[in-house]
Structures are given as C-alpha cells and as structure tokens.
Structure 1
Amino acid sequence: MRILLLSAYDAHSHRYWHQGLIKHCDDHDFTLMTLPPRYFSWRIRGNSMSWAFGKDRALLSQPYDLVIATSMTDLASLRGFLPELASTPTLLYFHENQFAYPETNNVHASVEPMMVTLYAALAADHLAFNTDYNRHTFLTGVDRLLHKLPDHVPVNLVEQLRQKSSVIPVPLPAHCFTSHREHNNQGALRMVWNHRWEYDKGPDLLLAILNTLESMRVDYIIDIVGQQFRQQPSAFKVIKDKFAHRIDRYGYLTHADAYRQCLNQADVVLSTADHDFQGIAVLEGVAAGAIPVVPNRLAYPELLDTTYCYTGTTQKEETKAAAIRIAELAQLKQSKQLPTAPDISHLSWDHIQHQYCSLMADLTAIKKHLHQ
C-alpha cells in the first residue's frame, strides 16, 4: 500500500506518532512530508499552498492508496489544489484540536485555525482521535461555533463528523516500558514533572503545589524537565530560586538515555496541565514505573484509574488535593509500602498496531470498491 503521510506542523508529539507508525507498519510504502513547527498562524493557513505550489507538487501528485494527515493540515484546500488527491481515501489524525486550548495566554486565539480544522474534517473520509476527550471537545467546539454563525449553516454536521470518527491512541514504543520495576524505598519521595515549559502545562499550579508541600513539611525531590523555549512563564524562575534544595534535574535533557534514567528513578510523575489531549509525557513516566498524580479532567480519567487523579474546581482546591496525595505517597515510601504503577501495556504499539492496520485497510477498500 502506498501511503502519503502529511504532518503540516511537525511538533515533537507529531513526530513521535508518525515515526512509530512508519516503523510498526513497515509493510506499507510511506512517503512522509512535513513542515516545521513555527509561525503557527501562517503554517496552519498556508500549508496547503506551500505544498501544492512548491517544489514537492510532483511528489504529492503521485498515485497513492491512502492519505494520512495530521489535523493541522488544510486538507480541504489541498484536495482542491491537487485533483490527484481528491479521489484518494483520507484519514485525518487529531493529536489535539483547536477548540480546546485554554483561552488565557493562548496566542492562537482565533477562529481561523478552527475553521481550517473543521473544513479538513469535513473533507476527510475518516477522523481518528488519540482520546475520546479529544473527540468530545472537538465535536462540542464545532457545535458551539456553528451556533454562532449567522445563517445558511448546514444541519447535522456534528453528527456526520461523529459517525466517521474513531479513537486510536498514540502508542508508546517498547523502550518506554520497564518490566516489574521495584521502587527504591530509601530516602525522599522522588517526583518528575516532564512537560513543555509553557503556560498550558500549568506552571502556576506546579508552584502552588510545591509551596503547599513545603508548608506541610513533605520530604521530596523533584526533577523539572521538558522542552524549553526562549520565553518561559515566570513561575519557573520562582520555582528554581525558591526550591533549589528540592530540585535535582532542571531543564531539558538532550540525551534519550538521560531522560529514561530520570523516569526510571521517579516514584511519581506529576501533571499540572491546563490541557492534555493524551498526555504522552505522563504515560511515559507511568510506563517506566512512576505513579501518576494527575488532574481529574482532560484525558486522564479515560486513560488511568480515577484513584490517580486529584480533583477540584479551582486552583486552590486542586493544589490541596494534589499535595495531600503526594504527602500520602511520601508517607507510604517511608513505611516501604509504596504501590506499583498501573499497567498501561494496552497503550503500547504491540497492542494498538492492529487497530491502525485495520483502519488503513478499511479506508483503502473504499477506493477499490468505487473503481469496481
């Protein structure tokens, strides 16, 4: 099967997914085309023009059995610009959706990305979401947007999108899983916070939790690692200055082995995110043996038992709930009774590969049926 794989805003999580897809579906012939993850507004609006009228037009015009594109791809325009793709079955994969980003500090707050994604979804033959939370927030967002439009809005669009959608997570590669790891019951509770250093990952909540742990006299060590950018939320400097005595690793770990060692040493993996559509960073920590402490919102309740989720309707309530849970785990470690991490092997490529293969086969059967 010849597959054209398009990643229009090739961020780390998107590369993580398509590299795994190509590796684990190696009986197919993939042609991968990507655009760099910068200049967001231009990229999401202009990717179809960049591809269709750029140096790769001839490559795009080759005969393919299937097109797989990320949801930031302007698929509707691309199929219009390239008639060769108009009759090719298409799968649109959603790592995230433009309707569910927090409004505060959202530099992408515009209806334009929403409309591009909506048109792409309408143009695609099938939509796959990494979690049901992602699908639900997308469909809810589309419905809300359509109700704001003044007239001539087609009916049942949301239901049409729902009926041609499914949920297939981004699988974790085999190297993420540490079999039967026993926690080191010596010393302080060791935590890791391993997310992008941006506002949507909740650095203010992280600061509030650390302040509360300090007031509770909880004994802990924390690694604060993840992808960094030139501009960072001010909370990180406060955390670095105020909690230097608690911090072991701080900053981006450039080597994969160093990152895996960090996760393998952690007792707890902590999320304070305002949005996570699947939470790969947390899942990598859990696969390595760390106990998740995550918000009872976003995608986490469908991926992990709710006993690992802290609840609250305000930051103050979430801070208290997370700190109490961490304090409990610190006490369990002192008494050498720290539980093992949950088993998430069902999120590995070994378990999910067949879902991708089946979906791709079903979509290519559409083309064969139409030409019979």
Structure 2
Amino acid sequence: MSVLLIEPFYGGSHKQLMDVLQEELQEDCVLCTLPAKKWHWKARTSALYFMQTVPTSSNYRILFASSVLNLAELAALRPDLGKLKKVLYFHENQLAYPVQKCQERDFQYGYNQILSWFMPEHKLAHLEKVIGVKRNGDSYQSEGLPGQQESRAVMKTSDAHPESGLCEPQPGLCTTQHEGLPSPPAAPAQAEAPESTNPYQGEDKQCLTFNLSNILSGLDYQQRPLHIAWPHRWEHDKDPETFFKVLMKLKEQDLPFYVSVLGETFSEIPDIFSEAREVLGSSVLHWGYLPSKDDYFRALCTADVVISTAKHEFFGVAMIEAVHCGCYPLCPKALVYPEIFPAEYLYSTPEQLFKRLQNFCKRPDIVRKHLYKGETAGFSWAALGSKFRSLLAAEPREDL
C-alpha cells in the first residue's frame, strides 16, 4: 500500500501537516511538493506540473492533498490517480477569503475548490454512513473527521527538531522529518534588558538572528514589561493593521511592553509593517521570520501574550503553538476561535483588545500567573493519529 501526498505550497501549516503524515507513514508514502511561493500560480498550474512529475506506481491506494491543488484537473490529466481514494484538506475557503482591494473577486480559486470537493449524492450518503458526516439542510458538516478543515490540525510533540528541506517529487520514498513542539519550559528566572539597551539589534528591517535570551537577561522576570507575540504571516488576511494600530496606541500612552513579530514574509508586505517598525522603536524585541523551529518556540516561550487579529481562519496553528508554549491568547470572537478558545480569551472589537492589553501592560503579572483554561491536547498527534491512520488505511472501493 502507498499513500501519495501532494502539496503545491510546501510551507507553513501546509508543510507542517505533510511532514507529520510523512514521518508517521514514512515506510509507506510518497511526498511530492512545490515551494511555498507564488500561491496563485500554484493554484492554477500545479495540477499540470504534478501530472508530469508524480511517478507512476501500481502501489498507490490513497491520494492526500491540500486544496491548493485543483484535484479535478489532476484526476482528469492522470486517470491512474483519478481512480484512487482521495482525501482533500482545506486550509482555507477561497470563496470567503478576504479581498485586499475593493475590486471584483477572482472566482477561479473558489471554483477550483468547488470542482475538487463536489461529490454526487450517493457518495455523500456513503460519507454520512461510514465516517460521521451529518447532513445539515443542504450542507454537510464533519463530526471529528480529520483532514477536511484545519480546525482538526495536527501538532506533533517531540524533543528532537531535525531540519527538513524541500522534497521534490521523485520515485521512491522521501524521508523529511517533522520539526515538533518542545515542551514549554518554566518561566525564566532572569528576563529583561537594562533600560539603556535598545532591544532591537541591527539596522536591517528584519532581524533573523535570534537573540531574545540575551536581550531579556538582567532583571527579574516578574518586573520586565509585557511581552506580546504576533506569529502570523505578514499578509492582509491576518489584519496587521488592527494589531499595529492597537500597539501604537499603547505606545502613545507610554505603556511599557515588548513585541516580537515572528511571522513569515512573502513577496508583498503590507505598508503598515514599515510604519509600525518606526513608531514602535525600542519596544520591538524581535522583527522577522525565524527559520529555526527551536528559536521560534523559544521566542514563544519567552512571550506573555499571543494575539490574533485574523479576518480569515480555519484553525490557527500559530495560536495553538503559542498557547502550548505558555502564552495567554487573545483572539477575535469570530471565525473558528470560539470553537477552540474559552470566552475569556476572546474580544469583539479593537477597543476591547486595546483595553485588555492596557491592563496587562500595567499588570503583566496577571498573565504570567494565569493557567490556561482551555485544552490543546486534542490537537496533538497522540489524539488524532489513530483517526488519520484509519482514514488513510481504508481500502479503495468503487463507490468512493
């Protein structure tokens, strides 16, 4: 048996999921990928690329892909793959994805997802019977089935964090390993920079050398300013405008805080980032993507609060990782967040977010003594592994 894993955008949470599956199924899977660049081109053309590059094999039983792939096109271009049982994992909904500019939406990406997800009535009835998909009017919703939404994402906890690189499609097995989550350490005993030290080192707009441990040394942990983390992609759907405007307002009121902006950047960066970098000045503790997972999790473990201002979110891997590392989460009371986080961690307006942070800046001990009241264990591989294995172990059938 062989599971064919296809990921046209091998980066971020897309990469994380594929790495977990490949590590757990490494004796029985083939991973084919494209780099995490030029997302729109991958959505439009990756089926043609994989049609030519996915090796032919009579051992494939299951095709597992993210919805960046136009699965309908690939199945038409490669009839041998079209016969497989197929599992499509949606990281986002392109029909509801927020547009950056007020203009007519490019419908092609949502249309791709419709084509890839459409199933005839007898298949929907089969899903309802076999794997717990319940009818809700004219729509269907999953009851705990992994792989259909990112709200069933996987985190793998591990003490080792080997580097994993891009695995281009080629015959045989690929053996990259997942970089897992470390166990959150106890609060550091020493943690603040002397007042005369500017915590941002270097003149480049992105500081890629991790030096938070050095910056936060010198003063008592409980006395240092609040440390705020923003670990999201530098793109408009994460609404950095709202986040930075709240922080600028804190700065205007001379409230003490540090901020670490840790997310990954792509070709287009919203203008608010350069503006915020100048305004926030010495409050910036770290600015830029951390390629090392070890450094990234250390940064989260030194932070007090993690914030999301997202306009579109199916799950939010970065938020769960930060909570796992000990951060107090503040999320919009919208999207998927109320399904995951208890009510006390949700805010309804930017003004509410500002007031929460204003209080935390004045009393950072409130969040440092807080014990998270939600649950993250359900998103671990230990909890979800058996469900994924069951999903990927089912024998192919004519009616699937």
TM norm structure 2 = 0.74
Aligned with residue 69 of structure 1, among 61, 65, 70: 65
TM-superposition CA deviations, 1:254-285 (whole Å, max 9, x none):
32222121111001111122222211111111
In 1, Cα distance between the equivalents of 2:40 and 2:283? Answer: 39
Letter of the 2:364 partner, please give it: K
Aligned with residue 116 of structure 1, among 112, 116, 140: 112
Q: Over aligned residue pairs, what C-alpha RMSD do you find?
A: 3.0
Q: Identity rate of aligned residues, in percent?
A: 25
In 1, Cα distance between the equivalents of 2:114 and 2:104? Answer: 16
Equivalent pair of 1:187/1:334 in contact (CA under 8 Å): no
Change (3 A) 1:33 1:210: same
1:191 corresponds to 2:174: no
TM norm structure 1 = 0.79
| 1:365 alignment counterpart | 395
Shift of 1:321: 0.5
In 1, Cα distance between the equivalents of 2:102 and 2:7? Answer: 22
1:172 corresponds to 2:177: no
Equivalent pair of 1:212/1:320 in contact (CA under 8 Å): no
Shift of 1:327: 2.4
Change (3 A) 1:180 1:258: closer
Aligned with residue 353 of structure 1, among 368, 381, 385: 385
Structure 1 residues without counterparts, runs of 5 or longer? 127-134, 141-155, 312-317
Equivalent pair of 1:269/1:293 in contact (CA under 8 Å): yes
Change (3 A) 1:310 1:49: same
1:330 corresponds to 2:361: yes
Equivalent pair of 2:155/2:380 in contact (CA under 8 Å): yes
1:288 corresponds to 2:288: no
Shift of 1:202: 1.2
1:104 corresponds to 2:86: no
Shift of 1:110: 1.0
Aligned with residue 232 of structure 1, among 260, 264, 269: 269
| 1:321 alignment counterpart | 352
In 2, Cα distance between the equivalents of 1:172 and 1:108? Answer: 37
Shift of 1:164: 10
Letter of the 2:241 partner, please give it: D
1:178 partner SS? coil
Change (3 A) 1:221 1:120: same
Change (3 A) 1:81 1:113: same
TM-superposition CA deviations, 1:127-186 (whole Å, max 9, x none):
xxxxxxxx9xxx99xxxxxxxxxxxxxxx9x53x65799455221121425357447423
Change (3 A) 1:345 1:166: closer
TM-superposition CA deviations, 1:316-349 (whole Å, max 9, x none):
xx22111111223334434786312344122111
In 2, Cα distance between the equivalents of 1:304 and 1:188? Answer: 25
| 1:81 alignment counterpart | 77
Letter of the 1:35 partner, please give it: L
1:23 corresponds to 2:23: yes
Equivalent pair of 2:182/2:297 in contact (CA under 8 Å): no
In 1, Cα distance between the equivalents of 2:385 and 2:96? Answer: 27
Mapping for residues 210-225 of structure 1, pairs under 5 Å: 210-225=247-262
TM-superposition CA deviations, 1:273-311 (whole Å, max 9, x none):
222221111111111000001111122111111210111
In 2, Cα distance between the equivalents of 1:172 and 1:166? Answer: 16
Equivalent pair of 2:63/2:87 in contact (CA under 8 Å): yes
TM-superposition CA deviations, 1:224-282 (whole Å, max 9, x none):
12112343211111111111121111112232222121111001111122222211111
Change (3 A) 1:180 1:39: closer
Equivalent pair of 2:146/2:153 in contact (CA under 8 Å): no
Question: Mean Cα displacement is larger for which, 3-12 or 99-108?
Answer: 99-108
Change (3 A) 1:279 1:62: same
| 1:344 alignment counterpart | 376
Q: Give the paired residue count.
A: 330
In 2, Cα distance between the equivalents of 1:34 and 1:243? Answer: 38
Question: Mean Cα displacement is larger for which, 249-258 or 188-197?
Answer: 249-258
1:191 partner SS? strand
Change (3 A) 1:120 1:230: closer
Change (3 A) 1:8 1:328: same
Change (3 A) 1:233 1:326: same
1:245 partner SS? helix
Change (3 A) 1:119 1:240: same
Letter of the 2:392 partner, please give it: M
Mapping for residues 127-276 of structure 1, pairs under 5 Å: 159=139, 162=141, 166-168=145-147, 169-174=152-157, 175-179=180-184, 181-182=186-187, 184-276=221-313
1:185 partner SS? helix
